C-alpha cells in the first residue's frame, strides 16, 4: 500500500474556546487556546489538503470568536512556506463545511473538492443551532464553501480516494462529516478533525467506556454509531484531533 506524509498547518488560534464545545459537558467554563487545523497530505505525486482553515481575525471576531491569525497562518502563505503553490493542490477533502474548515476552498483553482452528499444537503438548510457554524443564508451570510463549488465532487458514503487514503462517512458532529484515513510508513493516521475536538475526548474512555463526542453535534445516536465504528480503527491508528494544540508538536507525521 502507498504511504504519505501529513503536515499539520495552523490557520489561526481561537483565544478562548469553550472546552465543553470540544468534549461534551466536560469542564464547562474552561477556556482553551485552540488552533484551527488543516493538513497537507503528500506522497506518490499527490498534493492534497484536508480542510482549508477559517477566516481572518476581523470576520471571526464579528461572526464567531476572537482568533489570532498571523500572516504565516493564512493558508496560502503557510503552504508557500512549505513549497506548495495554490495551483499545485490537486485535491481538497472537506471533513465538513463549518466555516473554520472550508474558508479557503476558493484559493486553490485546480483542486477537486470532495464533500459528502449529506453534508452539502445539510449545509444548504441547517438547523438553527448550526446557522452560525455554516455561515448560512438563513442568517444573511454567504457560505465560503460556495467558492469552488463548481469543482466539488459529491460522494455518498465511504470512499476509497486512492491507494492508501480512505474517506469515512462519520456522522455526528455534522450529518455528512467524513474522517480521513491515511496510510504512512508508521501505520495509519485517522484525521478525525472535529469528530474528536480534542485528543482528550478520544482518550477519555473511563466514564462510559467510549470516547466523548464533541459538545457541538446534530445527532448523538449517529455520533455513537460513528464512535463505535471508528473505535477499532483508531485503536490501531494515530488520531489527529480537530482543535488540539498537541497536534502541532510535530511538524510532520509520521514523526519517527
Ligand atoms: Zn466543526
Tell whether 98 is covered by a domain: yes
The rounded Å distance from CA 134 to ligand 1 centre is: 9
**Single pTM value for the model:** 0.96
Give the CA dihedral 97, 100, 102, 106, nearest 10 degrees: 140
Is residue 19 pLDDT above 70, yes or no?
Answer: yes
Cβ 82 vs Cβ 125: under 8 Å? no
Tell whether 256 is covered by a domain: no
Tell whether 159 is covered by a domain: yes
Please, which residues have CB within 8 angstroms of residue 170's CB and are 6 or more apart in sequence?
177, 178, 179, 192, 195, 226, 229, 230
Is residue 207 pLDDT above 70, yes or no?
Answer: no
The rounded Å distance from CA 95 to ligand 1 centre is: 9
Tell whether 93 is covered by a domain: yes
Q: Structurally, how many domains does the chain consist of?
A: 1
Tell whether 255 is covered by a domain: no
The rounded Å distance from CA 100 to ligand 1 centre is: 7
The residue behind cell 460556495 is: 146
The rounded Å distance from CA 1 to ligand 1 centre is: 31
Cβ 211 vs Cβ 162: under 8 Å? no
**Residue-range definition of the domain harbouring residue 173:** 5-249
The rounded Å distance from CA 158 to ligand 1 centre is: 19
Is residue 10 pLDDT above 90, yes or no?
Answer: yes
The rounded Å distance from CA 160 to ligand 1 centre is: 23
Cβ 202 vs Cβ 192: under 8 Å? yes
Tell whether 178 is covered by a domain: yes
The rounded Å distance from CA 187 to ligand 1 centre is: 26
- pLDDT tens for 124-138 read 999 999 999 999 999
The rounded Å distance from CA 65 to ligand 1 centre is: 14
Is residue 194 pLDDT above 80, yes or no?
Answer: yes
The rounded Å distance from CA 98 to ligand 1 centre is: 5
The rounded Å distance from CA 255 to ligand 1 centre is: 26
Cα separation, 50 vs 193, in Å, equals 9
List the CATH number of the domain containing 143: 3.60.15.10
- pLDDT tens for 39-98 read 999 999 999 999 999 999 999 999 999 999 999 999 999 999 999 999 999 999 999 999
Going by C-alpha positions, the residue among 233, 148, 189 that lies closest to residue 5 is: 189
Cα separation, 232 vs 132, in Å, equals 33
Amino acid at each position: 500500500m502507498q504511504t504519505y506524509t501529513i503536515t499539520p498547518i495552523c490557520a489561526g488560534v481561537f483565544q478562548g474556546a469553550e472546552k465543553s464545545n470540544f468534549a461534551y459537558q466536560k469542564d464547562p467554563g474552561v477556556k482553551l487556546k485552540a488552533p484551527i487545523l488543516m493538513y497537507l497530505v503528500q506522497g506518490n505525486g499527490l498534493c492534497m489538503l484536508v480542510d482549508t482553515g477559517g477566516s481572518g481575525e476581523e470576520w471571526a471576531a464579528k461572526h464567531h470568536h476572537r482568533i489570532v491569525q498571523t500572516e504565516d497562518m493564512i493558508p496560502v502563505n503557510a503552504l508557500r512556506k512549505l513549497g506548495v503553490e495554490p495551483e499545485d493542490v490537486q485535491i481538497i477533502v472537506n471533513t465538513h463545511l463549518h466555516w473554520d474548515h472550508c474558508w479557503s476552498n476558493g484559493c486553490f483553482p485546480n483542486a477537486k473538492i470532495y464533500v459528502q452528499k449529506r453534508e452539502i444537503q445539510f449545509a444548504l438548510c441547517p438547523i438553527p443551532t448550526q446557522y452560525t457554524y455554516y455561515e448560512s443564508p438563513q442568517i444573511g451570510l454567504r457560505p465560503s464553501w460556495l467558492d469552488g463549488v463548481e469543482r466539488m465532487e459529491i460522494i455518498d458514503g465511504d470512499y476509497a480516494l486512492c491507494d492508501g487514503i480512505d474517506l469515512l462517512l462519520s456522522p455526528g458532529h455534522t450529518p455528512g462529516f467524513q474522517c480521513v484515513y491515511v496510510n504512512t510508513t508508521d501505520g495509519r493516521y485517522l484525521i478525525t478533525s472535529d469528530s474528536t475536538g480534542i485528543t482528550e475526548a478520544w482518550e477519555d474512555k473511563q466514564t462510559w467506556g467510549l470516547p466523548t463526542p464533541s459538545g457541538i453535534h446534530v445527532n448523538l445516536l449517529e455520533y455513537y454509531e460513528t464512535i463505535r465504528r471508528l473505535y477499532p480503527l483508531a485503536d490501531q491508528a494515530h488520531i489527529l484531533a480537530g482543535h488540539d494544540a498537541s497536534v502541532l508538536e510535530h511538524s510532520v507525521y509520521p514523526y519517527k
